[in-house]
Chain A
Amino acid sequence: MADLNWEEIIAKAKEGEEWAWEEIFLNYKDMIFNVCYRISGRREDAEDWTQETFLRAFSSIRGFRGESSLSTWLYRIAVNVCLGNLRRKPTTSLDGLEYKLGNEERDDDLVEEVQRVLSQMPPVYRTLLILRHFEELSYSEIAEIMNISIGGVKIGLHRARKKFKEKMEDLER
């Protein structure tokens, strides 16, 4: 698949071609898994939610009209899955944190602290910070994913950052 024609892949996925679904999965699995992992704070939950995201995406791909990019559409499903699951299981992100490092060598304690602070924040603030700072999405993309206005994203992010900064300062004192 050197020359990926995404329009064709999406069309085939709409027809139910399994290879097209697999292609979509292989291209977006890390992106979705990371979002789920950062929002949930648990590897187990992240795997389940990633799976749920892709299954939802595949079952509703015929409704994808290409008005937004496929990644934005998948992000939106992932965020809905994560926030929905957090609403059902609100303690998930607060208890039994399992944030772990990837393969890179980093300051483990610092990363753990960041994750701990994030997990103590309201899910919407956490999601805004993750989309903006981890996924490096634009305000308009975040607005589309979270189904809010760009102004709403700016206000939400401003509050989320302030809260994050305060909590980090409290931890470091």
Chain B
Amino acid sequence: MKKLNCEKIEDKLPLYLERELSQGEAREIEEHLLACAKCRALLKEWERCFFLLGNVPRLEAPLHLWQSIRAHLPRRVKRKVFLSRRWVLVPVVALLLIVVELAILHHFRLLFAPPIAERSTAIMFSPPSKEPTAPLLPKPMPQPTRPTPQPSRPKISPPSIAGSSVAKAQPLPSTTTPEGSGVEEMIVKRLQMALLSAQSAENSLERVFKTLEGEREF
């Protein structure tokens, strides 16, 4: 009976030392210890174990540790600060979009409005007229009366020139066609410019979104 008690008590001795037992259990052990020299010796062994385990000195963490940790922090810090202030980015992106839209609208408005440059080209291509108030639309009528450059071109046969009004009106296509092709070129150029600006705006927006996504993923 005493042996069985010793076995039970041996297992409880560490808990007794830690004061993790109930009052009743602790009193039971104390009563047993008074009567059992073997268990008292065992208790001393456990006390030594506890002393050894608790007697290891505490160390101080090296000071440079924070520097090494900090070296890995900035990106995280920046990210969090960046994300916490991302409302700043919203108006920037919105402004960028507005600018792009305005640029595109401006280009298209120029396309459909009578451009000033065309007026000047029209003046340039139109014959010297006594009516300075009508430079916008070239008048085909005065052109047949325009002196032909025939004296400087003796090889051209007279019938081909004199016989056709088209030949006489050669300056007319030369005024309308180059003007038309100029407008077309201008339209193409403006479309290209609008396309380029839209592409560059799209690229910059893509970069902004990629940065945002990258930061979020991180």
Give A contacts to B, CB under 8 Å: 15-18, 21-22, 25-26, 29-30, 32-34, 37-38, 47, 50-51, 54-55, 58-59, 101-104, 106, 110-111, 114-115, 129, 133-134, 136, 139, 154, 157-158, 161, 164-165, 168-169
Contact = CB atoms under 8 A, between A and B. Distances in A.
Interface of B is mostly: helix
Contacts of A139: 20
Interface of B: 11, 14-15, 20, 45-46, 49-50, 52-62, 65-66, 68-70, 72-73, 76-77, 79-81, 84
A104 B81 CA distance: 43
A58 B76 contact: yes
A56 B81 CA distance: 19
Contacts of B80: 15-16
A33 B73 contact: no
Nearest to A33: B61
Contacts of B76: 16, 58-59
B57 A104 contact: yes
A101 B55 CA distance: 11
B79 A16 contact: yes
Contacts of A161: 14, 46, 49
B52 A50 contact: no
Given A51-B69, A134-B56, 4 more contacts: A37-B59, A51-B72, A54-B69, A114-B52
A34 B84 contact: no
A30 B59 contact: yes
A4 B84 CA distance: 24
Contacts of B70: 18, 22
What 6 A-B pairs come out closest when comparing CB atoms? A16-B80, A102-B57, A33-B61, A133-B53, A29-B61, A102-B59
Contacts of B59: 30, 33-34, 37, 102
Contacts of A158: 11, 14
A29 B67 CA distance: 13
B57 A51 contact: no
A16 B84 contact: yes
Given A18-B77, A158-B11, A110 B52 contact: yes
A50 B79 CA distance: 23
A6 to B, nearest CB: 19
Contacts of B73: 18, 21, 55, 58
A12 B102 CA distance: 42
Contacts of A47: 61-62, 65, 68
Contacts of B66: 22, 25-26, 29
17 contacts: A25-B69, A29-B61, A30-B58, A32-B61, A33-B60, A34-B59, A47-B68, A51-B72, A55-B72, A101-B57, A110-B52, A111-B57, A115-B56, A133-B50, A161-B46, A164-B49, A165-B45
Contacts of B45: 165, 169
Contacts of A101: 57
B65 A50 contact: yes
A55 B15 CA distance: 37
A51 B49 contact: no
Contacts of A29: 61, 65-66
B45 to A, nearest CB: 7
